[in-house]
């Protein structure tokens, strides 16, 4: 299996030079994704088109052919048969690259090339969203950063040594603007992956920065190779919660159901897909804080769901309500094994478990990229996963039409997921996310 290193960070943090040096010492393939976007920007500008005009950029993509070649001097970027490695290294192209990279079609255009390189080689790939979007399953994730002033000084020195007439303050402003654009763009913004190791290169020499990156890679790869595959711990299905809890839950469910039907224009579809027993996982897209309650209004079995630890500190009444509806706290950054153990415990007690694979709410209703946690719990427990699509326009408000659609159960063993290897977990996660997306898009078409 190839080793993938995702190296992200802001413009001017030294990603390219550091990644290139580390790759050379480790005998990995270096992939400069930023150079690909710069090549696109160069072509668009050379055609007299605007890089901040999506339609003009999209129309130019069909005429672009990009490839990477690797020489003794390093990686060279080839644009339509021409080596443009030097032409793309200007402040103008840097800013233009930020603009074209915010266009979804540009990212899609380059994504397959980047993924193929990672699939077939041990790679160090640098960019803005490698660990979060391009290679979310990379064994090693590094977020390389430095202060704006430090990055501006490096860039200024580099351009002056190349004989260019530049002003430091202009470069600093360009870097600050580039950071703002990259962080706030709607598509794949610059963001540190949750499991990335941050390395700040402010005030340290190049050789030390390279050594830090290499040490991090070797340490992460060693830990990954030692990682044990979790054992399958099948759950015996059925309602095993105490009778009094089931009666109390049913009363609260009916009360909540009445209130929600008064407040919302609420519709349920696919109820024939909802099991009548417990110990199932309901995997849903995430639109609002009310999602767990919306999902649990129809099934008569008690539900449980993970909730951020901070929610249990809001106020006594709110904490009591979410506990009644089965919430249990998970601390950010520490929820891995603890969250899995708690989930298995709830499933063994006969609860249905609600999990939101996206990990965060979608503001516009689009289904985000799913994480592997839901697949891990389902594979370990070997329980059915019922995909759920929740759809409404805008925000939850009085008499807003809300559709909750339940899809056909996904049985891990029936799709060949009988262990918790990373390959099997990806298969299950992809199946779950594809089903959720289909339910959401089908509901959207009916709104």
Q: Domain 243-446, CATH 3.50.50.60 — does that match?
A: no
Helices (H) and strands (E) in the chain, counts: 14, 15
Q: Which of 14-28, 151-165, 173-187, 379-393 has the highest mean pLDDT?
A: 379-393
pLDDT at 100: 92
For range 384-402, the mean pLDDT: 93
- Cβ atoms of 328 and 306 within 8 Å: the answer is yes
The proportion of the chain whose per-residue pLDDT surpasses 90, expressed as a percent, equals 45
Separation between Cα atoms, residue 74 and residue 81, nearest integer Å? 18
Structure tokens at 49: 């088109």
Which residue, 257, 322, 331, 247, is CA-closest to 292? Answer: 322
Give pLDDT tens digits for 29-88: 888 888 899 999 999 999 999 999 999 999 999 999 988 887 776 678 999 999 999 899
- Cβ atoms of 131 and 196 within 8 Å: the answer is yes
For range 254-270, the mean pLDDT: 93
pLDDT at 440: 93
pLDDT at 372: 87
Give pLDDT tens digits for 338-350: 788 888 988 998 8
pLDDT at 325 over 70: no
Distance (Å) of CA 19 to CA 5, 12, 123, 306: 9, 13, 10, 38
Separation between Cα atoms, residue 140 and residue 216, nearest integer Å? 8
**10 Å Cβ neighbour count for 16?**
20
Instruction: Please report which confidence band the pLDDT of residue 132 belongs to, taking 50, 70 and 90 as the band edges.
Output: confident
Separation between Cα atoms, residue 284 and residue 432, nearest integer Å? 9
pLDDT at 303: 87
The pTM of this model reads 0.54
Q: Please provide the average confidence, as pLDDT, over all residues in the chain.
A: 87
pLDDT at 192 over 80: yes
- Cβ atoms of 292 and 305 within 8 Å: the answer is yes
Give the residue carrying structure tokens 């594809």. Answer: 434
Separation between Cα atoms, residue 154 and residue 143, nearest integer Å? 18
Instruction: Please report which confidence band the pLDDT of residue 189 belongs to, taking 50, 70 and 90 as the band edges.
Output: confident
Structure tokens at 131: 């660990």
For range 426-434, the mean pLDDT: 94
**What is the three-class DSSP state of 308?**
strand
Instruction: Please report which confidence band the pLDDT of residue 443 belongs to, taking 50, 70 and 90 as the band edges.
Output: low
Separation between Cα atoms, residue 102 and residue 85, nearest integer Å? 22
pLDDT at 79: 93
Which residue, 162, 328, 210, is CA-closest to 319? Answer: 328
Q: What is the DSSP string of 108-163?
A: HHHHHHHHHHHHHS-EEEEESSIIIII-TT-SEEEEEE--HHHHHHHHHHHHHHTT
pLDDT at 355: 92
Instruction: Please report which confidence band the pLDDT of residue 336 belongs to, taking 50, 70 and 90 as the band edges.
Output: low
For residue 355, list its beta bridge partners. Answer: 283
pLDDT at 434 over 90: yes
pLDDT at 441 over 80: yes
Q: Which of 312-321, 334-343, 368-377 has the highest mean pLDDT?
A: 368-377
Query: Domain 4-226 belongs to what architecture?
Result: 3-Layer(aba) Sandwich (3.40)
**10 Å Cβ neighbour count for 186?**
9
pLDDT at 334: 44
Instruction: Please report which confidence band the pLDDT of residue 11 belongs to, taking 50, 70 and 90 as the band edges.
Output: confident
pLDDT at 333 over 60: no
Contacts of 437 (CB under 8 A, 6+ apart): 367
pLDDT at 223: 79
pLDDT at 240 over 90: no
pLDDT at 316: 75
Separation between Cα atoms, residue 289 and residue 252, nearest integer Å? 18
Least confident of 155-159, 160-164, 333-337: 333-337
For range 107-132, the mean pLDDT: 86
* Alpha helix (H) residue ranges in 333-412: 336-348, 373-381
pLDDT at 113: 82
Separation between Cα atoms, residue 5 and residue 124, nearest integer Å? 5
Separation between Cα atoms, residue 7 and residue 214, nearest integer Å? 12
Distance (Å) of CA 50 to CA 41, 365, 436: 9, 30, 37
pLDDT at 33: 85
**What are the extents of the domains in the chain?**
4-226, 243-446
Residue 197 backbone phi and psi in degrees, to 5: -90, 125
């Amino acid at each position: 299996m190839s080793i993938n290193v995702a190296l992200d960070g802001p413009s001017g943090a030294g990603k390219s030079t550091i990644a290139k040096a580390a790759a050379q010492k480790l005998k990995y393939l270096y992939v400069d994704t930023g150079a690909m976007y710069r090549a696109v920007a160069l072509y668009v500008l050379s055609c007299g088109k605007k890089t901040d005009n999506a339609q003009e950029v999209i129309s130019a993509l069909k005429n672009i052919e990009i490839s990477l070649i690797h020489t003794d001097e390093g990686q060279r970027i080839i644009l339509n048969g021409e080596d443009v490695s030097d032409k793309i290294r200007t402040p103008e192209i840097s800013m233009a690259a930020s603009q074209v990279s915010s266009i979804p079609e540009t990212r899609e255009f380059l994504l397959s090339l980047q993924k193929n390189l990672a699939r077939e080689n041990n790679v160090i790939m640098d960019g803005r969203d490698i660990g979060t979007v391009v290679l979310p399953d990379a064994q090693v994730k590094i977020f390389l950063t430095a202060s704006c002033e430090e990055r501006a000084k490096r860039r200024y020195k580099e351009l002056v040594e190349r004989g260019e007439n530049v002003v430091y303050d202009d470069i600093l402003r360009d870097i600050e603007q580039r950071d703002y654009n990259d962080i706030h763009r709607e598509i794949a913004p610059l963001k540190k992956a949750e499991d990335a190791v941050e390395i700040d290169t402010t005030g340290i020499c190049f050789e030390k920065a390279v050594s830090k990156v290499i040490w991090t890679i070797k340490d992460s790869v060693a830990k990954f190779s030692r990682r044990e595959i979790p054992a399958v711990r099948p759950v015996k299905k059925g309602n095993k919660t105490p009778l009094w809890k089931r009666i109390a839950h049913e009363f609260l469910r009916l009360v909540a159901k009445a209130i929600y039907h008064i407040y919302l224009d609420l519709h349920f579809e696919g109820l024939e897909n909802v099991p009548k027993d417990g110990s199932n996982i309901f995997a849903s897209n995430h639109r609002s804080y009310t999602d767990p309650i919306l999902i649990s209004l129809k099934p008569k079995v008690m539900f449980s769901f993970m909730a951020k630890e901070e929610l249990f500190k809001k106020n006594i009444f709110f904490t009591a309500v979410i506990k009644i509806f089965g919430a249990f706290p998970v601390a950010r950054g520490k929820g891995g094994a603890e969250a899995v153990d708690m989930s298995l415990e709830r499933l063994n007690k006969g609860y249905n478990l609600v999990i939101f694979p996206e990990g965060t709410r979608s503001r516009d209703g689009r289904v985000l990229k799913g994480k592997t946690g839901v697949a891990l719990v389902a594979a370990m427990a070997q329980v059915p996963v019922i995909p759920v699509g929740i759809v409404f326009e805008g925000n939850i408000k009085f008499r807003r039409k809300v559709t909750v659609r339940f899809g056909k159960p996904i049985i891990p063993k029936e799709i060949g997921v009988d262990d918790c290897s990373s390959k099997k977990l990806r298969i299950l996660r992809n199946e779950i996310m594809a089903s959720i997306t289909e339910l959401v898009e089908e509901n959207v078409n009916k709104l």
